[in-house]
């Protein structure tokens, strides 16, 4: 197996899926890959950079562009729901993602991915930034709460998540002057 950042991140996701963050030490990852721990730092500057790539690999399959003619608000809700589903598939996925940022080599691509549909719909640069950050932070915060609550056998509902997500998006629509309420829970 040829080791590069992407391959290592995907292999790290396998460890995360089995043991959560406790199962994702650099020693365990190196053992899993059949290399020495120091070899990981040939690819990553530090453990945080590695975790940033793991978090990106976790959500990347959820990142799909809008369908032709799909309104920005429906697209944004769809992406957030899909990201939630992906992150919840990994024990401690929410905590991992909450502490991560897009890797430097894909940061511009991720920002463009989230910003373009909103900018194309007429949102200002500032409103786009604030909307994207609010949706991401709400989604990841909800996931972290869900994962912590599930450890206490206290289930949170998808309905509650989607209600809050729609309320947030409706607030942006209201701020834009679009009070049609097009998105529905």
Contact 26, 50 (CB under 8 A): yes
pLDDT tens digits for range 107-138: 999 999 999 999 999 999 999 999 999 999 99
Spatial neighbors of 115 by CB under 8 A, at least 6 apart, are: 125, 128, 129, 132
Q: How many residues does the chain have?
A: 185
Q: Provide the pLDDT for residue 179.
A: 45
Domain 5-50 grouped into CATH 1.10.10.60: yes
Give CATH for domain 58-176: 1.10.357.10
pLDDT at 185 over 50: no
pLDDT at 14 over 60: yes
What Cα–Cα distance (Å) separates residue 49 from each residue in 65, 72, 102, 172? 26, 31, 9, 33
Domain ranges of the chain: 5-50, 58-176
pLDDT tens digits for range 25-61: 999 999 999 999 888 999 999 999 999 999 999 999 9
Output the DSSP codes for the chain: ----HHHHHHHHHHHHHHHGGGG--HHHHHHHHTS-HHHHHHH-SSHHHHHHHHHHHHHGGG--PPPTT--HHHHHHHHHHHHHHHHHTSTTHHHHHHT----TTTHHHHHHHHHHHHHHTT--HHHHHHHHHHHHHHHHHHHHHHHHHHHTT-PPPHHHHHHHHHHHHHHHHHHHT--S-----
Reported as half-sphere exposure (CB side, CA atoms, 13 A), residue 25 has a value of 7
């Amino acid at each position: 197996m040829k080791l590069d950042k992407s391959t290592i991140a995907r292999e790290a996701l396998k460890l995360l899926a089995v043991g959560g963050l406790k199962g994702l030490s650099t020693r365990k990852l190196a053992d899993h890959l059949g290399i020495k721990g120091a070899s990981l730092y040939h690819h990553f500057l530090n453990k945080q950079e590695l975790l940033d790539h793991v978090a990106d690999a976790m959500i990347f399959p959820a990142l799909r562009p809008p369908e032709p003619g799909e309104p920005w608000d429906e697209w944004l809700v769809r992406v957030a729901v899909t990201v939630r589903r992906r992150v919840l598939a990994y024990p401690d996925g929410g905590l991992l993602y909450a502490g991560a940022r897009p890797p430097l080599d894909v940061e511009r691509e991720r920002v463009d991915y989230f910003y373009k549909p909103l900018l194309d719909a007429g949102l200002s640069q500032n409103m786009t930034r604030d909307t994207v950050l609010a949706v991401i932070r709400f989604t990841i915060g909800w996931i972290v709460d869900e994962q912590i609550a599930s450890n206490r056998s206290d289930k949170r509902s998808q309905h509650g998540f989607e209600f809050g997500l729609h309320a947030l998006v409706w607030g942006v629509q209201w701020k834009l002057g679009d009070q049609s309420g097009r998105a529905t829970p």
